[in-house]
Amino acid sequence: MHQQNKDLQKHYEGFLQTNCLWKDNVVYEILQFDIETKSTKIDIDINEKLRLGKYIERLVSFQLEQEKDISILSENIQIQKEKITLGELDCIIKREEKPIHLEVIYKFYLYDSSVGNTEIEHFIGPNRKDSLVEKLTKLKEKQLPLLYSNECKSFLKTINLTSNKIEQQVYFKGQLFVPFSSKSLQLETLNQDCIVGFYINQKELLEFKNCKFYIPNKKGWIVIPHKNVNWLNYENFQILAQDYIQRKSAPLCWMKKQNGTLIKIFLVWW
């Protein structure tokens, strides 16, 4: 149990120190939620089996509850039509008496200049199955408009609100990774501070044969790298890496250089 609490604290610290993907409403005119980062001891019961997205929502709930000017009115609101779920609103909060519909997102994207034509279009998921532009389009066209649906009206009545009184914001945090060959990439629209590491393919891995490696589990992806883990040497890491590559799965890894520097990387199969 003690180890579980320590892990939860590391997850929370990692979440807090992850930056929002953009500032204000410079992307698709979607307004980012702005909240001061305050490190504190987290003390909640949390189901470790939750998938990462739902796990993050629990961390956000705890963070919001620490704010005197914020109250959570409702969370994980299922909007249904004739018993069919149309979608879910992550949460509705009040901040200084202003109601806000808040969508919570935490993502990992890799920069590939061969995909799309704009900075936003260049960011894709580690396994090339999703992209930042797909997520933003879904937010803009499906998730945020749900608030204004007829099916949502009856729910809003139960908390004495109407959609025209509610502001919509997103709490969209992300970790961005750039190609090893383009480590000096400068972003124009997205938040430069979100770049936390680089990605390499199998050939480039050879350049790091003097390094040590660690492959965290999915929840460990949000953790800030630290030295107190079971490091793998290059040979043992390569054996594990082969398994991921054959499955077309790109793991997030921690790399420890000979000088002790810790870096987050993705090892990609493509």
Structure confidence at residue 205 (pLDDT): 95
Q: Share the mean pLDDT of the chain.
A: 96
User: Do 270 and 114 form a contact (C-beta atoms < 8 A)?
Assistant: no
47-50 contacts at long range (C-beta below 8 A, 24 or more positions apart):
48/4, 48/219
Angle value at C-alpha 171, between 157 and 116, nearest 5 degrees: 120
Summarised one tens digit per residue, pLDDT across range 4-49 is 889 999 999 999 999 999 999 999 999 999 999 999 999 899 998 9
User: Do 183 and 198 form a contact (C-beta atoms < 8 A)?
Assistant: yes
Summarised one tens digit per residue, pLDDT across range 67-83 is 999 999 999 999 998 88
Q: Specify the DSSP element, H or E, that contains 255.
A: strand 252-256
Structure confidence at residue 186 (pLDDT): 96
Whole-angstrom distance, CA of residue 270 vs CA of residue 264: 18
The least confident of 2-6, 83-87, 101-105, 121-125 is 2-6
Summarised one tens digit per residue, pLDDT across range 208-254 is 999 999 999 999 999 999 999 999 999 999 999 999 999 999 999 99
Whole-angstrom distance, CA of residue 99 vs CA of residue 147: 12
Q: Quick check: 113 pLDDT over 90? A: yes
Structure confidence at residue 1 (pLDDT): 53
Structure confidence at residue 187 (pLDDT): 97
**What torsion, rounded to 10 degrees, do the Cα atoms 134, 200, 12, 260 define?**
-160
The confidence band for 157, taking pLDDT boundaries of 50, 70 and 90, is very high
Structure confidence at residue 184 (pLDDT): 84
The confidence band for 183, taking pLDDT boundaries of 50, 70 and 90, is confident
Task: Name the phi and psi angles at 179, rounded to 5.
Answer: -60, 145
**Domain positions in the chain:** 2-195, 201-267
Mean pLDDT, range 84-107, rounded to an integer:
96
Share of the chain above pLDDT 90, in %: 93
Going by their DSSP bridges, the two strands 195-200 and 167-179 should be labelled as parallel
**What torsion, rounded to 10 degrees, do the Cα atoms 203, 209, 211, 216 define?**
50
Indicate the residue type of 106.
Y
Mean pLDDT, range 117-130, rounded to an integer:
97
User: Do 195 and 177 form a contact (C-beta atoms < 8 A)?
Assistant: yes
Burial class (CB in 10 A: 0-12, 13-18, 19+), 85: exposed
**What torsion, rounded to 10 degrees, do the Cα atoms 190, 192, 194, 195 define?**
120
Whole-angstrom distance, CA of residue 141 vs CA of residue 99: 21
Mean pLDDT, range 95-123, rounded to an integer:
97
